[in-house]
Chain A
Amino acid sequence: MSTRLFGESVQRVEDQRFLRGEGRYVDDVLVGTTGRDMLHAAVLRSPHAHARIVDIDVSGVLDLDGVHLVWTHDDLDGPMAEPLPLLIPHPSLTHGRTQYALAKDEVNYVGEAIAFVVADDRYVAEDAVGRIRVQYEFLPPVVGIAAARAAEHLVHDDVPGNVGARLEQENGDARAAIAAAPHTLSLDLTVERSASTPLEGRGTVARWDPDIGRLTVWTSTQTSTGVRAALAAKLGLDLGRVDVVTPDVGGGFGVKINHPWPEELLVPAAARLLGRVVKFTEDRREHFISSAHERGQVHHVEVGFDDEGRVLGLNVEFWHDHGAYTPYGLITPIVTSTQLLGPYKPGAYRVVFESLYTNTVMVTPYRGAGRPQGCFVMERTMDAIAAALGKDRTEVRAVNFIQPDEFPYDQGLIFQDGRELEYDSGDYPASLQRLKDLVGWDDFPKLREEMAREGRTVGIGLACYVEGTGVGPYEGAHVHIETSGKVKVATGLTTQGQGHATVFAQVVADVLGVPFEDVDVVTGDTRRMPYAVGTFASRSAVMSGSAVHLAALRAREKVLRIAADALEASEEDLEIVDGVVSVKGAPGSGASIDLRTVAVLSNPLRYAFDEASQAATQFSVGDPGKPPVAEDDEPGLEGRDFYSPQRSTYASGMHAVIVETDPETAEIKILKYAVVHDCGRLINPMIVEGQIQGGVAQGVGGALYERMAYDESGQLLNASFMDFLMPYVTEVPERIDIDHLETPSPLNPLGVKGAGEAGVIPSAAVFASAIEDAEGPSHPGLVITAMPISPSELFHLRQVHTEESR
């Protein structure tokens, strides 16, 4: 028997290429002789947060040597001149607005695209951008949630109160439950803006082939099929004339699921008009001010609970800053409002949010997509209850857990995909016990005392979350066994470093009984798999993993059918080992046929072209009295299938951290970080752990370093990696202790749940908990209500606390 690969920490097949600098990103496409005639685009972006455009003068540009094209909104027509699509409408999004590919009459954030230039190279293109003169009439900018709520000024004239959406959900009567509860608390909690900040920004290359009338677009996206559909619609092309290819992508983390970006339309349009290859590669400053941000929310919590800390009623109001436009609908605040509940079952729950316009970069999901905020709110609430009752924080959580025998558990709400928020499986008490063991929760008071004797201040915190993963509607896969015996797999969703080529090959190798090395996986190429959704919401393993599995099963069925015919055996008696089909229990001894030969037999050709096809002549398959390809069959050894689940599957996890806070400088140091993670069955534990480690690193950034610093005029003050403090390897824990719990999902054939976002979800919550705990002895009652937190801010909290306690 071949070794089963599912569950094995198979080394990533991608890494040799990446580590040797052989990755091919959008900026590498058509570089060299094939791209000799390539032109380069640059974009004039608004320097003002809110202004009417009175006049744009491009007269100084076209006489610049090397400039081929300059466009403003006036130059666009048809669908290109319409606003960009609102990708995910929602009945509650009563005032959704999207931007134009190039601003029409008004700009609503610093960075909004106004004019588009194509030139011989990016240098000339930027020179040209510098020559465009725009006359503005300034409007008052609305920056921050407080200003948006105050609505003294409006972002969009026709959106009263700056409110894009208001959505309320309730399960039970939360306000009545709180009123009747023995104890109540209220909390105000804030999470600041941050962003995905992938190391590779956005980028698009387009080539129009006039000979065959086809457009090929390479773009750094999380959804090639989405871009393709949008492009065809906007450019007025038949879908069949547009191919979108996603080469290697240097990180997405959510920002690249939004589409089409203005440049994703303008570059292909320019390539078609000019008959030249056109490239746009976003630079870092552009990424900060013209892609998307997330996380900025302000929350008010009312909670009623009993003597044990059991939550009887929970009422949460929050305000979501969605920036200037709403192309991605309400996904982020809906996720916060539903996933806030985590592993708990409050007696009654009400949540209401307002999604607000501000004159800042628009907001679309960033890894975690509203969950980090929800987790922060819920876990801060749990910590506050524990503090109020003088109970251990783990005990308060434990009494609120959904129990293992309560699954499937319906939270009585509607999730972001429009389906019921029904948890499929999980074991939260077991997770908590493992986490306590892993981090040394019960021994921590001893450590605290020891450290205190050395004059050191340490604290411990924990946070729990549940994550709906693998949202629909579907993914598909195509598996093709070639006459070389090699297996070609295509799935339509894209890859940004997750290791899809490894895990999907593991799944296929197991089903088909072929060596892992013989399986080759392609993602995100609409020429190979035109039906797909995209890579987001921790859905690839669940969705494409399942689809790949189903498609491989179909290919296997056909292999066995043909082989059974050729070997004159029964299908049930056959097995495939190392690419050879033979009768079970007698490999090597009885009759056998290898997959190469089966592949030849599947496609009844007239001509023998290699050894495998010559070998195939010794077998005869099919009924001589019938057509060579049966009516219900087709030539080729292929399988294609789709997976479309009824609802999401719910992964969960718990993190704990021990931090040290410096009594003098308020610096925050991570001493230990522990994770217990449950994403159902693990296809490749090493890849899951990599996802967790990357997520924790990103979470450390979000909790302790990263923020978007806007001034009141709407200028982003830290639009560079010098001032936007993405952590280095020196700032993230050297080691993360990880333990896995595997409660399989009953919803998909592999029993898997998503793992991509998990690591980042509890960060703000767990650090707030631990830092507050560390400060407890010296500043009893000091409460952390806003994240991220810097040493300077912790120092101020201490000062305020000391003054207040005087």
Chain B
Amino acid sequence: MTRRKRIGHIFLHLFLIIGSLFMLLPFFWMLSTSLKEAREVFTFPPQWIPSKLNWSNYTKALTAMPFGRFYLNSFLVAISTTALTITTSSLAAFAFARLRFKGRETLFLVYLATLMIPFTVLLIPNFIMVRYLGWYDSYWALIFPPAFSAFATFLLRQNFRGIPVELDDAARMDGASSFRIWWQIIMPNSGPALAALAIFLFLGNWNEFLWPLVVTNSAEMRTIPVGLNSFQGQYSVKWELLMAAAVVAMLPIIIVYMFAQKWFIKGITVTGMGGR
């Protein structure tokens, strides 16, 4: 490395470190406030390190609202929706990629065309549909409507088409049914795509706010984002409790992310088209 380049790299690191500090600052400020005593929260200039670690904020925040239940709901909803989306869309994608039937291209085009419609347009009719089905304020409402994704079907179809047809043909010679080909050839050969999609969907469902906000009413049905939103409505100046709740809401995903950074980035960038 030349001398000039080395100096350049030092400046680059400086720039990136300052940037990193800005990115980490909100996390640090949240953590710091969550451990402060109430009177220490309102000091000027702000105190970066709490004088005493006040863990009781966490027990206070977590008992002020049924956060355990919110967690359970979020987890249940995110897992079920993801599993359901992957099952239905991989079955459909298999049909689109491998089976021949009348209207295949037209139907696929209809699927694709709906990708243009933003979720906002579907929000109100879906809400009415959910009420009509008697699903309002239930797990059904949280799990089923978001679980049918034309995008996931499209993504998997593209992936399935990349798997050599010779594998299917050989299996068919041996008398395998289509269902078996889907389950034992196509799915195992799509590992990376399925994993990326699963992470993308799980994260999207875990963090989803608008839909659960609209279709839930009782505290028992709230997911973490909705629960946090109502917590903020009730404790709007109890910053130490709000920050403790925010830490609890973020922590599990951040921990998993630390260990599986590559997969998260892959999941979101490869499939990023579907979300923001």
User: Do these two chains interact?
Assistant: no
Q: Which residues of A contact B (CB under 8 A)?
A: none
